[in-house]
């Protein structure tokens, strides 16, 4: 009898243990990536790439109201694996279509939740899914990132605080600090994306995607300093005006939860892109692949293009017979310039209206006259607005200006990504789409896939762009320019606003408000129009500056802002990058370097074999080391067997159009 009782007890113990401890393995289609998931008293995942540890066992959980923790002592109900190999159209992107091939595992747990894992050849991702009947309150989410060694990181810390007491109100602009994991800046936060540098030239970039009705992810160092742990901004309860020109909304009271949301929903993806060579990072589609398809059925009215922009150049036009400034004559001049150079849009930045009420116009700006004048010249008008002003009556404001003939809005000073702000972005996107209006979100957190879901959003800032050259003399801009294609640009397009016609060497650079200058050479600026992704791409300098440099202007004007194919040629994070993109039967090529001059070789094997091509080439001039405006233009014949070596000056570049 005692033996029977002991046997029954052992069986019960074994049954209980088997319910609690289960292991799962998911491999990428090419077999190089292995994801090991362990379900015990906690749920962890471990990621290997050809036996190299990319992520050591790291926990994940979601805490709901009532101290319900999804991920602790979880009980597996069942699981399912499948392989997916498909593609989808991407009409406003760096390529015409995106291949979406992955292996998929979904684990269903007791307590009405699941975790979905995907393994691609270039990375992995997971997300929580809840299936509860009633609404839920999310108190917190645990995202741990543990590492087996003290690797170097490139980390964008929260620096530009709009409210010193609240680190979650930020412009999301920061240069990357190269530090070991253990050296993470104490008592601070960093935002995504960021990069980990492993041995054997492997790198990983950490991203999130499909951020909807949920706050964005920040990280801080964990207690052991061997990795990072998540931080999220709590939901906003009370706000007041403040910040720059009093046009931010500063949060004075936050809730003790992240969001109150639907009980049946998908949560954001936590994604890691893994690369064996740096260049591959510049042509990655992870965020696109993890995002929701377009909610706009008719996209025929969405027109990407370039924009003549006023603010960076301080409305500084001259050799004219009127006083330049924020007035009708000046904007007519911008429209004339845009029309002459086949630039699709002109933006009216701050000053065309009252900042706090954009329904009240500056009397010096006759908006209806400008809209009609632009229509006559085939140039669309885009209006600037702070987020605060636009959200006073979003539907009414958008309808009013759409009815007037405005083509879109540049929305500025969002400066946070709590759930309330994220929901507002979706709301603005939908209402803009209803009125057939384009959007450029400036002063914005990094894109997380909404650009696929609402393709009328053509651009996002969340980058330390050219505007900072007006006031930051100590920033290393060429280094940053050679870093963001490998990190920030993986999240989506960037409203960096290139196009300076006044260019300076490292020793000669000085900030200027009305005659702003770029760091690096003219060819560096020209190359950015191919390298930096931006379906709505700014031309930051003044019409006067562009007309004085018509040869460069003609070249910029010919470069499209969306492409059918992208080829990563070469590159090394923080040092240099070269990219080629095709639109129809014409190729566009850009290459840039940091402050180190270097020789780069361009291999044209991406061209169609057996055909001859004409290449218009802008390369750094022999004297670009002293006069950064110096360049050489030439037209040569090449084919797919051609290899050409060019010397890039300090902060230099190379730009081509090949047809």
Active-site annotation, residues: 412, 467
**What is the SS3 string spanning 423-450?**
HHHHHHHHHHHHCCCEEEECCCCCCCCH
Q: Where are the alpha helices (DSSP H) in 188-257?
A: none
Instruction: State the sign of the Cα–Cα–Cα–Cα dihedral 309, 312, 313, 315.
Output: positive
> Which residues sit opposite 228 in a β-bridge?
145, 221
Residue 386: CB partners within 8 Å, gap ≥ 6? 247, 248, 355, 411, 412, 413
Burial (0-12, 13-18, 19+ Cβ within 10 Å), 148: middle
Backbone phi and psi for residue 657, each to the nearest 5 degrees, phi listed first: -125, 125
CA dist 484 → 1, 92, 156, 460, 464 (Å): 72, 20, 11, 14, 10
User: Can you tell me the distance from the alpha carbon of 140 to that of 259, in angstroms, rounded to the nearest whole number?
Assistant: 9
Give, in degrees to the nearest 5, the angle at Cα 330 between 328 and 334.
110
Backbone phi and psi for residue 653, each to the nearest 5 degrees, phi listed first: -160, 175
CA dist 329 → 180, 334, 364 (Å): 54, 9, 9
User: Can you tell me the distance from the alpha carbon of 34 to that of 57, in angstroms, rounded to the nearest whole number?
Assistant: 13
Helix (H, G, I), strand (E, B) or coil at 328: helix
Burial track 196-211 (b if 16+ CB lie within 10 A, e otherwise)? bbbeeebbbbbbbbbb
Backbone phi and psi for residue 406, each to the nearest 5 degrees, phi listed first: -70, 145
| In contact, 173 and 468? CB cutoff 8 Å | yes
| In contact, 587 and 580? CB cutoff 8 Å | yes
User: Can you tell me the distance from the alpha carbon of 316 to that of 312, in angstroms, rounded to the nearest whole number?
Assistant: 9
Burial (0-12, 13-18, 19+ Cβ within 10 Å), 343: buried
């Amino acid at each position: 009898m005692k033996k029977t009782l002991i046997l029954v007890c052992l069986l019960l113990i074994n049954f209980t243990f088997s319910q609690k401890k289960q292991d799962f393995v998911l491999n990428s289609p090419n077999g190089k990536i292995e994801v090991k998931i362990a379900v015990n008293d906690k749920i962890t995942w471990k990621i290997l790439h050809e036996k190299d540890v990319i992520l050591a066992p790291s926990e994940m959980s979601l805490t709901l109201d009532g101290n319900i923790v999804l991920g602790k002592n979880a009980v597996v109900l069942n699981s399912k694996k499948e392989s997916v190999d498909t593609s989808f159209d991407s009409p406003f992107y760096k390529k015409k279509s995106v291949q979406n091939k992955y292996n998929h595992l979904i684990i269903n747990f007791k307590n009405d939740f699941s975790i979905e894992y995907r393994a691609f050849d270039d990375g992995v991702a997971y997300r929580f899914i809840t299936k509860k009947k009633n609404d839920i309150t999310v108190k917190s989410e645990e995202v741990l990132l543990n590492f087996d060694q003290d690797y170097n990181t490139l980390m964008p810390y929260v620096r530009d605080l709009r409210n010193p007491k609240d680190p979650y109100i930020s412009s999301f602009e920061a240069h990357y600090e190269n530090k070991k994991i253990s050296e993470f800046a104490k008592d601070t936060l960093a935002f995504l994306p960021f990069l980990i540098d492993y041995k054997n030239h492997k790198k990983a970039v950490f991203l999130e995607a499909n951020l909807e009705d949920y706050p964005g992810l920040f990280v801080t160092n964990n207690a052991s300093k061997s990795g990072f742990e998540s931080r999220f901004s709590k939901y906003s309860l009370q706000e007041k005006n403040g910040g720059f020109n009093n046009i931010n909304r500063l949060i004075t009271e936050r809730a003790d939860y992240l969001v109150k949301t639907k009980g049946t929903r998908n949560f954001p993806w936590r994604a890691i892109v893994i690369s064996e060579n740096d260049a591959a990072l510049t042509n990655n589609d992870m965020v696109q692949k993890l995002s929701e398809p377009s909610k706009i059925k008719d996209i025929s009215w969405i027109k990407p293009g370039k924009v003549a922009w006023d603010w960076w150049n301080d409305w500084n036009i001259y050799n004219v017979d009127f006083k330049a400034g924020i007035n009708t004559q000046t904007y007519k001049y911008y429209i004339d310039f845009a029309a002459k150079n086949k630039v699709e849009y002109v933006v009216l930045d701050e000053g065309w209206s009252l900042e706090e009420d954009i329904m009240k116009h500056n009397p010096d700006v006759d908006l209806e006259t400008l809209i009609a004048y632009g229509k006559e010249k085939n140039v669309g008008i885009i209006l600037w607005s702070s987020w605060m002003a636009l959200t006073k009556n979003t539907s009414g404001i958008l309808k009013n200006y759409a009815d007037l003939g405005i083509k879109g809005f540049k929305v500025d000073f969002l400066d946070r990504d709590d759930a309330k702000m994220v929901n507002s972005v979706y709301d603005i996107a939908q209402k803009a789409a209803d009125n057939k209006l384009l959007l450029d979100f400036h002063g914005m957190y990094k894109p997380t896939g909404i650009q696929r879901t609402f393709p009328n959003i053509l651009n996002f800032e969340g980058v330390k762009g050219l505007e900072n050259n007006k006031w930051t003399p100590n920033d290393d801009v060429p280094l940053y320019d050679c870093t963001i294609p490998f990190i920030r640009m993986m999240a989506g397009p960037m409203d960096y606003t290139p196009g300076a016609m006044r260019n300076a060497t490292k020793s000669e650079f000085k900030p200027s408000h009305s005659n702003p200058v770029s760091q690096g050479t003219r060819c560096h600026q020209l190359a950015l129009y191919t390298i930096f992704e931006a379906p709505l791409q700014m031309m930051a300098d003044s019409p006067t500056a562009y007309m004085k440099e018509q040869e460069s202007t003609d070249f910029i004007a010919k470069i499209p802002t969306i492409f059918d194919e992208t080829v990563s040629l070469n590159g090394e994070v923080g040092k240099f990058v070269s990219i080629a993109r095709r639109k129809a039967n014409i190729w566009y090529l850009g290459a840039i370097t940091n402050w180190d001059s270097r020789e780069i070789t361009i291999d044209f094997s991406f061209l169609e074999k057996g055909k001859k091509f004409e290449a218009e080439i802008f390369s750094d001039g022999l004297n670009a080391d002293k006069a950064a405006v110096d360049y050489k233009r030439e037209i040569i014949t090449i084919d797919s067997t051609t290899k050409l070596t060019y010397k890039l000056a300090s902060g230099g570049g190379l730009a081509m159009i090949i047809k």
